[in-house]
Chain A
Amino acid sequence: MARILFTVPPLTGHLNPALAVADALSRQGHELAWAVHAAQIGDKLPEGARVYALDHGDGADPGIAAPQVRGLESVRLFFEDYALPLAERVLAPMEAAVRDFSPDAMVVDHQMLGGALVARKLGVPWVSQVTTSASILKMSPVLDAWVAEQYLALQRRYLPEDLIVERPDFSPHRVIVFSIETLPGDRHARVDAPYAFVGPVRGEGRRQIEFPWEWLRQDRRKLLVSLGTVSRDRDTRFFEVVMEAVSGMPEVQAVLVAPESLAASAPDNVLVRGYVPQTELLRHVDGVICHAGHNTVCEALSCGLPMIVAPIRDDQPVIARQVIDAGAALFVRQGKVTAAAMRTAIANLLGTPSLADSARRLSQELLAAPGAPGAARIILALAAAAPASLELA
């Protein structure tokens, strides 16, 4: 049996894929441990999980703030205020955890840089887990140089010179991407790394959420509108524009995942809910309007649904572009789109067969991907390989 150590940042989108892979491994009896911020995500780990806490307990652990920031600025803030300080702070407890657990292999989220540096320093075989199809792409010469510079300073404080590399977040052994290769496509250069595209992990038994299914009508075209959990409460303008657009489209029904205060001003054919059973609801709708978050995009595409994408921040603009290039999405500008433009986009979404055709094509690929069990096989193969041969990888 193999000993596998997982480390991910305390962010749901990064924890969930790791949980699915861990589940596949623990079913086979492998011994797992987690090096995580226990105060933030300890309660989401499986019962009885072996946990090495990375928290300092001083209330100063970095968090994702500034929800109003958009575009490139959110990328800069993510590195400067989150990923890099987080890495610096976890190095000592991470190294102690790895020395104590002595894993045969580590699974390190590519934004959990501290785990990558410790694996490198101690010579533990490791895979990177990359949670979206955007993070593997090179950005622009200026940005890539800036990122490398940020990483370099951190590495110099912790690693001997001969272990320093340009992109320490990517494993030289294996980089598992929870997406399909068609989404990044070949239009943009990738960071050079040994990729394995395993597709998204499937929804693993979320909690039950009430939904008034009888509200949905057979004789209407139906839309799910969601900006994801992070941006749901950002501001209400976008939802108001959607409501105004849909109010003039009696043939359409729309479910908005939005602050419930908007329900009072919703037209008859719009339902506002704070939470929805998204995976199940997607089976009942004809299209999706979303922020191009990777989870929502993969879930919608898995159901063969075309979408309107209104990206806001982080990697969303890149993912949005990928789905548009794959022929399954239309673009609207989040903070600028007018009701008239939204109405046109919705009419095009529902009236353009090629969008749905492309979405169905992608759904076949997504459903055929090996998912978490495939990722588990890759990790086990790495754990079983002799460390000497890994040096060459």
Chain B
Amino acid sequence: MSKHYDDILSLVIGKIRSTINEDWIQDFEIEGETRFNTDLEIESIEFVKIADAIQAHYGTQLDIVGWLSGKSIHELIGLSVGELASFIAGAVPEQG
């Protein structure tokens, strides 16, 4: 994976930690493969908050809600941190 992706992945992981803001998640190993539903026990309402925080960081160049609305229920259930990061990596330009 590129530095562009890695940077975004760390940002996403940071937003997950700060949004959930519970003791366990500060030490919990979050990677690209980590799944929101099964691994992190994050419900959709909390996922929206995380998405909002990321959206606020990148502004209008990103449309996370639109991206999610194209997903099937099976894809939503299995959604991983890396899939979210990949989507963002494809949507925002690399910092020069």
Contact = CB atoms under 8 A, between A and B. Distances in A.
Contacts, number: 56
Interface in B16-60: 22-25, 28, 37-38, 40-41, 43-45
Interface of B: 22-25, 28, 37-38, 40-41, 43-45, 68-69, 71-74, 76-77
A338 B24 CA distance: 7
A76 B37 CA distance: 13
Given A142-B68, A142-B69, A333-B22, A76 B41 contact: no
Nearest to A188: B45
Interface residues of A, number: 22
Contacts of B23: 338, 340-341
B45 A142 contact: no
Nearest to B43: A317
A337 B24 contact: yes
The secondary-structure label for the interface of chain A is: helix
Interface string A328-356: 00000111111011000000000000000
Nearest to A143: B73
Contacts of B43: 71-72, 311, 317
A146 interface: yes
Given A76-B74, A142-B76, A317-B45, A70 B69 contact: no
Contacts of A335: 41
Given A146-B73, A341-B23, A341-B24, A333 B41 contact: yes
14 contacts: A70-B41, A71-B43, A72-B44, A142-B76, A143-B73, A146-B73, A311-B43, A317-B43, A321-B45, A335-B41, A336-B22, A337-B24, A340-B23, A341-B22
Which of B22, B24, B41, B69 has most A Cβ within 10 Å? B41
Given A142-B69, A340-B23, A341-B22, A334 B41 contact: yes
A73 interface: yes
A218 interface: no
Interface in A341-384: 341
A336 B41 contact: yes
B49 to A, nearest CB: 12
Contacts of A76: 73-74, 77
A140 interface: yes
Contacts of B40: 336
A340 B26 CA distance: 14
B24 to A, nearest CB: 5
Contacts of B22: 333, 336-337, 341
A46 interface: no
A141 interface: yes
A70 B37 contact: yes
Nearest to A79: B73
B37 A336 contact: no
Contacts of B72: 142, 146
A71 B69 contact: no
Nearest to B25: A336
A69 to B, nearest CB: 9
A82 B25 CA distance: 34
Contacts of A340: 23
Contacts of A337: 22, 24
A298 to B, nearest CB: 21
Nearest to A139: B44
Given A317-B45, A336-B22, A70 B73 contact: no
Given A338-B23, A341-B22, A341-B23, 6 more contacts: A71-B43, A317-B43, A336-B24, A336-B40, A337-B24, A340-B23
Contact of A142 (B28, B38, B71): B71
